[in-house]
């Protein structure tokens, strides 16, 4: 099934498809019971739509995308079937045509919502043109078409705007505004993914801390401290592979995740980071050169062994070993065995 027709969020779509189908079918059946007993068509429709609603709930989420598109199409078809079987072209017979369009406009992508709206209008046309005089049928069809199309357009645009805002906020939440690096959340997600897919080379994490960062702030001001963080971030990024993830963990602590990197290679690259920062002092706007240095700790998970917490703990322990050893150097701890 083309992705453009599918649900925006599969889990939500299948749940609400089941809810809408169940509520409408049982409402129709109850109404029929209260007005002289259910017609066999009512019972059959309830069984079919109820079974479909059950499928939406019990099947795995990954297999319910086609059902999410079929559900409103089936709902509109069922409404037309019931109207024709009971010769009901009044308000009670047509009101349920609104539900498939409402549901599709909120839960499906724009192409899917357009498909459902067009199908629902066709079902409405079949009912009124079959049961009503031509003039009245055309009037009813015109009004219903206008309502259904406008409802779909307005909701699709509103939901689309909401999704764009959410996506923008997620992007902003994933980028540290000072350094332009990824945030801790981005690093956590990338680390879990790397450990899940780790090969024979394993996954390395280098945690970096700017030495005597408080002294930079106290001597040159907080703007200089911010510039130092951004400067070190740029030095690290310039020496990373495309698949590496550079992130700000918080404060003056940065990290470089290296998927598919053996521990010895990670240690060499950490040494390169330390040397590069030492060789590139920060130049302030007034021309003052501020020498900087970093301490780095290397953690390594061979074959994806251990978890995110273990890898972070190893890198942190190595970082503090580097600090205890005099700073401006790389620390390491024994590699965890697989």
Active site residues: 252
Among 272, 278, 326, 279, CA closest to 298: 272
Token reading at 61? 């989420």
Count of CA atoms in the C-beta half-sphere (13 A) of 273: 32
DSSP state of 67: H
Q: How far is CA 20 from the centre of its chain?
A: 25
Torsion of CA 53, 38, 88, 47, to 10 degrees: 20
What is the chain's percent helix, strand, coil content, to nearest 5? 65, 10, 20
The torsion angles phi and psi of 249, rounded to 5 degrees, stand at -85, -20
Among 159, 54, 71, CA closest to 115: 71
């Amino acid at each position: 099934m083309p992705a453009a027709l599918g649900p925006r969020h599969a889990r939500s779509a299948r749940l609400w498809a089941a809810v809408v189908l169940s509520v409408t079918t049982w409402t129709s059946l109850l109404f029929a019971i209260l007005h002289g007993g259910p017609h066999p068509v009512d019972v059959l429709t309830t069984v079919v739509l109820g079974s479909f609603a059950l499928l939406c709930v019990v099947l795995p989420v990954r297999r319910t995308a086609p059902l999410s598109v079929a559900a409103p199409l089936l709902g509109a078809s069922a409404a037309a079937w019931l109207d024709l079987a009971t010769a009901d072209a009044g308000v009670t017979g047509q009101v349920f045509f609104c539900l498939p369009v409402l549901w599709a406009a909120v839960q499906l992508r724009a192409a899917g919502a357009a498909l459902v709206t067009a199908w629902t209008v066709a079902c409405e046309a079949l009912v009124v043109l079959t049961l009503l005089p031509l003039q009245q049928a055309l009037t009813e069809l015109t009004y219903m078409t206008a309502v259904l199309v406008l409802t779909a357009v307005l909701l699709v645009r509103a939901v689309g705007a909401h999704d764009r805002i959410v996506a923008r906020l997620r992007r902003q939440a994933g980028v540290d505004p000072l350094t332009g690096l990824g945030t801790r959340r981005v690093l956590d997600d990338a680390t879990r993914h790397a450990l899940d897919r780790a090969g024979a080379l394993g996954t390395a994490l280098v945690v970096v801390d700017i030495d005597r960062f408080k002294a930079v702030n106290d001597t040159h001001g907080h703007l200089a401290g911010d510039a130092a963080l951004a400067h070190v971030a740029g030095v690290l990024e310039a020496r990373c592979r495309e698949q590496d993830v550079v992130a700000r963990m918080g404060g003056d602590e940065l990290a470089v995740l290296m998927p598919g990197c053996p521990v010895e290679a990670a240690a060499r690259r950490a040494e390169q980071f330390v040397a590069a920062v030492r060789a590139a002092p920060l130049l302030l706007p007034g021309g003052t050169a501020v020498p900087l240095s970093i301490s780095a700790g290397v953690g390594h998970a061979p074959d994806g062994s251990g978890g995110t917490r273990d890898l972070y703990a190893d890198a942190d322990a190595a970082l503090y070993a580097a600090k205890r050893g005099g700073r401006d150097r790389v620390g390491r701890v024994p590699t965890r065995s697989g």
